[in-house]
Structure 1
Amino acid sequence: MSARPFKFKHFIIEQDRCAMKIGTDGVLLGAWSSLAHQPESILDIGTGTGLIALMMAQRSGAELVDALEIEENAYEQAVDNFENSDWGDRLFCYHAAFDEFVEEMQDEEHYDLILSNPPFYTEDYKTGDDQRDQARFAESLPLSELLEGASLLLSKDGRFDLIIPFSEEDTAIRIAQTHKLYPARITRVKGTAEAPVKRSLLSFSFEETSAEVQDLIIEISRHNYTPEYTNLVKDFYLKL
């Protein structure tokens, strides 16, 4: 995937130093996440280029938009992308592992909205060595650690939103319940109407309610996007 800058309507993402380039998953999560509860503090876990944090700064009036990134090159790139945006005074990136960050911050800061596009193994990322691929998945930020940490950093009325492979949805919901987090919204994403469900967008809260479940189809045909997808991301992509 290209390392050239990715130009959105209101900001530019430099991505030449990041292993994870701009992709549909991050844009989906940043556009889909609800701001109805008017979060004043937001955290993006595993920010990479800083994309989701920048989307949150564009969409919200939150005074505090924090991001967390463990990989040094990505961290430095996110910092640069933040400083070159219109919201540099509201954006801050921490360079730390998630477990360290949780230990340090759980008694200091609680966030009204936490988001994550975690580095899970998916069918899109294969080296050809099945054992190595599976090991890499197991070594990435586990759902159990992510959900436990989010529950410790989330404010009482906050939301934790993430995008994961559809195959992990049931596992995520089961683990979340052990930390008293319950799904409030579930959106299952398909490339086309005939394609299998590929991703799950999940929004968790501490309130146990019936989840609002929807489907989202991205394309009618190649580069012919559905009205639902276009409406979701039109404030970001230049050509929509």
Structure 2
Amino acid sequence: MSVFQFKEFLVDQKQSPAKITTDATVFAASIQTSSNFKRALEIGTGTGVLSLMLAQRFHQAQIDAVEINPVAFEESKRNFKNSKWESRLKVLLADFKQYRTNHKYDLIFSNPPFFHNNLQSQTNQGKNTAYHTNHLSFNSLATGLDQNLAEAGEVHIMLPSYEMSLFEEEMKSLGFQCTRSTALRHQVESKIIRFFNVFERGKTEIKKETAEIYLRDENNNFHPSYIKLMKDFLTIF
């Protein structure tokens, strides 16, 4: 589907190497944070869909988005411009490894590349950058997060289970702890598809909050937890 129609906005994804996925939209819909935060940053925005979803949810937020791929940058820029939240959304063509601003962010979120040593495209380098850690390693990601996050800010990251464990070690080495973790499963008994983890500074020896979200119930109908999250976004609800 080259154009995806949400209830309050439209996303053109004809050109972007990374297309809209169910897990990413659930991630954006599930982000819980202080309702009065001012500045947010998305790392690797692709089509811009996650930033658009957060702009819909958090009316006071100014959201910057960093994108390294020129094609995806232009597409997300158009998607932002065509939305009702254009004044609060800005995309920058930049390499996050070199990205620094004069201000710090209250919230940073990302669905980062995570494939490592996997078979890659011989013709589509944009797709390789979007999905593989060739350019943005977990160490580089964690370092950039530390340098751009406000002291009391939160980091929200989506990754598969094993990759999340690796990333969590990188964050711990910089003084961050995982304070909340949400597991996404297709059904209650299915294996975990993704973790949505929240990281904060200086919170040692805490009890991690945990939750689960399911896409389908035992009859393969949409699960109530999925409907609850997505009813403000998807036209099917």
TM-score (norm 2): 0.89
Q: Deviation of residue 127 (structure 1)?
A: 5.8
Q: 1:184 aligns with which of 179, 184, 195?
A: 179
Q: Deviation of residue 169 (structure 1)?
A: 2.2
Give the SS at the match of 1:169: helix
Q: 1:119 aligns with which of 88, 110, 113?
A: 113
Please tell me whether the aligned partners of residues 113 and 133 of structure 2 are also in contact (alpha carbons under 8 angstroms): no
Give the SS at the match of 1:114: strand
Give the SS at the match of 1:139: coil
Q: 1:234 aligns with which of 218, 226, 231?
A: 231
The residue aligned with 1:142 is 137
Amino acid at match of 1:117: N
Number of matched residues? 229
Please tell me whether the aligned partners of residues 9 and 238 of structure 1 are also in contact (alpha carbons under 8 angstroms): yes
Give % identity.
Answer: 29
The residue aligned with 1:165 is 160
Q: Deviation of residue 140 (structure 1)?
A: 4.2
Measure the CA separation in 1 of the matches of 2:18 and 2:37: 27
Amino acid at match of 1:157: A
Cα separation, partners in 2 of 1:85 and 1:113, compared to 1, 3 Å? same
Cα separation, partners in 2 of 1:120 and 1:140, compared to 1, 3 Å? farther
- Contiguous gaps of at least 5 residues in structure 2: 123-127
Amino acid at match of 1:60: F
Q: Deviation of residue 38 (structure 1)?
A: 2.2
Tell me whether 1:96 sits opposite 2:87 in the alignment: no
Cα separation, partners in 2 of 1:19 and 1:180, compared to 1, 3 Å? same
Amino acid at match of 2:142: L
Q: Deviation of residue 25 (structure 1)?
A: 2.4
Cα separation, partners in 2 of 1:140 and 1:199, compared to 1, 3 Å? farther
Measure the CA separation in 2 of the matches of 1:153 and 1:66: 12
Cα separation, partners in 2 of 1:65 and 1:115, compared to 1, 3 Å? same
Q: Deviation of residue 221 (structure 1)?
A: 5.0
Cα separation, partners in 2 of 1:128 and 1:22, compared to 1, 3 Å? closer
1:129-154 Cα offsets, whole Å, 9 max, x none, are: 9xxxx997341421111111111111
Give the SS at the match of 2:87: coil
Please tell me whether the aligned partners of residues 66 and 92 of structure 1 are also in contact (alpha carbons under 8 angstroms): yes
Measure the CA separation in 2 of the matches of 1:216 and 1:63: 25
The residue aligned with 1:48 is 46
TM-score (norm 1): 0.88
Cα separation, partners in 2 of 1:50 and 1:204, compared to 1, 3 Å? same
Give the SS at the match of 1:109: coil
Amino acid at match of 1:217: Y
The alignment's C-alpha RMSD in Å is 2.3
1:16-59 Cα offsets, whole Å, 9 max, x none, are: 01011111122122111113352100101100000111111111
The residue aligned with 2:125 is none
Cα separation, partners in 2 of 1:194 and 1:127, compared to 1, 3 Å? farther
Q: Deviation of residue 126 (structure 1)?
A: 5.8
Tell me whether 1:196 sits opposite 2:191 in the alignment: yes
